[in-house]
Amino acid sequence: MDEVRIIEIKKSIFEDNDRDADRLRSELKEKGVFLLNLMSSPGSGKTTTLINVINLLKENIRIAVMEADIDSDVDARKIKEATGIETIQLHTGGMCHLDAEMTRQGLENLNLKETDLAILENVGNLVCPAEFDTGSCCNVMILSVPEGHDKPLKYPLMFSICDVVLINKIDVAPYFDFDMDECVRNIHSRNPKAEVMPICARTGEGVQAFTDWLLTAVSEWKNNKTK
Amino acid sequence: MDEVRIIEIKKSIFEDNDRDADRLRSELKEKGVFLLNLMSSPGSGKTTTLINVINLLKENIRIAVMEADIDSDVDARKIKEATGIETIQLHTGGMCHLDAEMTRQGLENLNLKETDLAILENVGNLVCPAEFDTGSCCNVMILSVPEGHDKPLKYPLMFSICDVVLINKIDVAPYFDFDMDECVRNIHSRNPKAEVMPICARTGEGVQAFTDWLLTAVSEWKNNKTK
């Protein structure tokens, strides 16, 4: 149960990542697979959030996970143990992000015929992953309370490309100088369309709202209502 | 008091960063300036730690600060307001790290004749800044408790190049699943020589031990005892 496949990802040979990402998205559309790209700083709670989301959704839709990491397979093992679903580890060999071709290498190792929702947990980094379209159908990022409400001002690109911003670790907000209203204002100053959802991945608080959003997004994608 | 100079850093034209970094270190040696490169994830507490360190040291040695950021001048203003010392903001224009040439562009805007210790607050990122020698005399990183004790396993290069790892936000440890002994073991598995110092930048706890270490390092550098 605790063994996971580890895929060593090769650096992309394609120069035009945007074109390649659009091609990958079209292929996923044909296959009826929704690809979610999840990003955050190191330690914001991506893996714990995913475990909650998967356990809420796995009876409704078929899910597979790709855990990208520079080294180690800590997260892939955690997800597989806690959810029982198909999980592979992508080793980026020091690379700070994934692009569309690297994501494709991961997807080729999943059983896409049996998958409605493929989740990519990107490398923990607020800078580089924002610069490369992975071919995903939606981008979600997690900002955790201890990181501070000023982060949208300091990492503007990341906040501007995300459909959803999950604000995690709200249970510890009393111990930090964190202003939720200010945080939401900072996010919307970068991206007025971003959905902002406060959660506590540790206790599961607020996660249902996000899984509802995600279930609708996957269903619309499969029913051809969105691009 | 709250106005800071903002320097737009150009991308480096040098291909051999390691050679350029060694050259910068030699020049700093001749000038008697110690360059500290401070790295961490976004929101780990670099700026708050620096304010504490500077206020403890500024009567003993002459300090100047370069705050690197993709955008905004939030941190440079904070440091200048809280310490009164010379602080400039380096805008990296989206770049995820600083290399030696970019650091040199920042140093050229400081009054090095009046500086014993120049501090570079690098871009918040555990991946890319570890790959580029800035020409610094020592590398210090901050890992904060909310990020988790497994980070040395997931970002091995960053931990392997640091002389000191400050473990920040120890005041909130009771609210997180953080194992200090395991953390220290993980750090030393990557880098047996790393000095590990627990601190709380918000209250100042533990910061004196680091400033003592730093004062010794600066003094040895100026007295030619180390490289």
Concatenated DSSP letters for B24-83? Answer: HHHHHHHHT-EEEEEEESTTSSHHHHHHHHHHHHTTTS-EEEEEEESS--HHHHHHHHHH
Does residue B157 sit at the A interface (CB-CB below 8 Å)?
A: yes
The pLDDT of residue A189 is 97
Please give, rounded to a whole number of angstroms, the shortest distance from the CA of B40 to a CA of chain A. 10
Cα separation, B19 vs A102, in Å, equals 31
Lowest mean pLDDT among A13-17, A169-173, B132-136: A13-17
Chain A contact for B65, CB < 8 A?
no
DSSP three-state, residue A198: strand
The answer to whether the CB of B57 falls within 8 A of the CB of B63 is yes
Among A139-153, B10-24, B167-181, B200-214, the range scoring the smallest mean pLDDT is B10-24
Say if CB A159 and CB B70 are below 8 A apart.
no
What confidence score (pLDDT) does residue B179 get? 97
pLDDT beyond 80 at A114: yes
- What's the average model confidence in pLDDT over A28-40? 97
Count the neighbouring beta carbons within 10 Å of the beta carbon of residue B209. 14
Q: If pLDDT is split at 50, 70 and 90, which confidence band does A214 have? A: very high
Identify the bridge partners of residue A118 per DSSP, sorted by sequence position: A35, A64
Contact A218, A116 (CB under 8 A): yes
Q: Taking residues B130-136, what's their average pLDDT?
A: 96
The ipTM assigned to this model is: 0.86
Phi-psi region of B198 (alpha: psi -120 to 50; beta: other; left: phi over 0): beta
Amino acid B71: pLDDT: 77
Q: For chain B, give the mean pLDDT.
A: 93
Q: Which of B131, B112, B134 is nearest to B121 (CA)?
A: B134
Say how far apart CA A189 and CA B7 lie, in whole Å: 24
pLDDT, chain A, mean: 93
Strands A164-168 and B63-69: unpaired
- Average pLDDT for A49-69: 96
Quick one: pLDDT band at residue A92, thresholds 50, 70, 90? confident
Is B182 at the interface with chain A, CB within 8 A?
no
pLDDT > 80? residue A33: yes
Helix locations, B123-173, DSSP H: 151-154, 156-160
Q: Are the beta carbons of A154 and B42 separated by less than 8 Å? A: yes
Residues of A in contact with B41 (CB under 8 A): 41-43, 124, 147
Is the pLDDT at A11 greater than 80? The verdict is: no
Cβ atoms of B74 and B62 within 8 Å: the answer is: no
What local confidence, expressed as pLDDT, does residue A1 receive?
Answer: 44
In degrees, rounded to 5, the angle at the alpha carbon of residue A85 between the alpha carbons of residues A128 and A221 is 65
- The angle that helices B46-57 and B207-222 make with each other, rounded to 10 degrees, is 60
pLDDT score recorded for residue A95: 83
Helices and strands per DSSP (H, E), number in chain B: 8, 8
pLDDT in tens, B32-80: 999 999 999 999 999 999 999 999 999 999 999 999 988 778 889 999 9
Cβ-based contacts of B154 with chain A (< 8 Å): 42, 69-72, 74-75, 124
φ and ψ at residue A222, rounded to 5 degrees: -70, -30
- Chain B residue numbers with beta carbons less than 8 Å from the beta carbon of A40 are none
Q: Which residue of B has its CA nearest to A96?
A: B127
- A99-103, A209-213, B10-14: the lowest-pLDDT one: B10-14
- Rounded Cα distance, B89 and B74, in Å: 9
The mean per-residue pLDDT over the stretch A21-50 comes to 96
A119: helix, coil or strand? strand
The average pLDDT across A177-195 equals 97
DSSP, residue by residue, B86-117 = EEEEEE-TT-SS--HHHHHHHHTTS-GGG-SE
The pLDDT assigned to A226 comes to 53
**Cross-chain Cβ contact B172/A172 below 8 Å:** yes
Alpha carbons A141 and B160: distance in angstroms, whole number: 28
**What's the token pair of residue B44?**
């780990």
Give me the pLDDT at residue A14, please: 61
Q: Is residue A3 over pLDDT 90? A: no
Q: What confidence score (pLDDT) does residue A71 get?
A: 77
Beta carbons within 8 Å of B121's beta carbon, 6+ residues apart: B38, B46, B47, B50, B65, B66, B67, B68, B75
Task: Indicate the pLDDT class of residue B92, thresholds 50, 70 and 90.
Answer: confident
Place of tokens 């880098």: B191
- What is the Cα–Cα distance from A177 to A158, expressed in whole angstroms? 22
Question: pLDDT value at position B224?
Answer: 74
Q: Among residues of chain A, what percentage have pLDDT more than 90?
A: 84
Structural contact between residues B121 and A119, judged by C-beta atoms closer than 8 angstroms: no
Arithmetic mean of pLDDT, B97-108: 94
Q: Is B99 left (phi over 0), alpha (psi -120 to 50) or beta?
A: beta
Residue found by looking up tokens 């949208």 in the block:
A152
- Please tell me the predicted confidence (pLDDT) of residue B12: 63
Residues B144-181 have pLDDT tens digits of 999 999 999 989 999 999 999 999 999 999 999 999 99
Question: Which pLDDT belongs to residue B172?
Answer: 96
User: pLDDT at position B70, please?
Assistant: 82
Q: How far is B142 from chain A (nearest CA, A)?
A: 12
At residue B1, the pLDDT reads 44
Which region, left, alpha or beta, applies to residue B19 given φ > 0 means left and ψ of -120 to 50 means alpha? alpha
Beta bridge partners of A16: none
CB neighbourhood size of A202 (10 A): 18
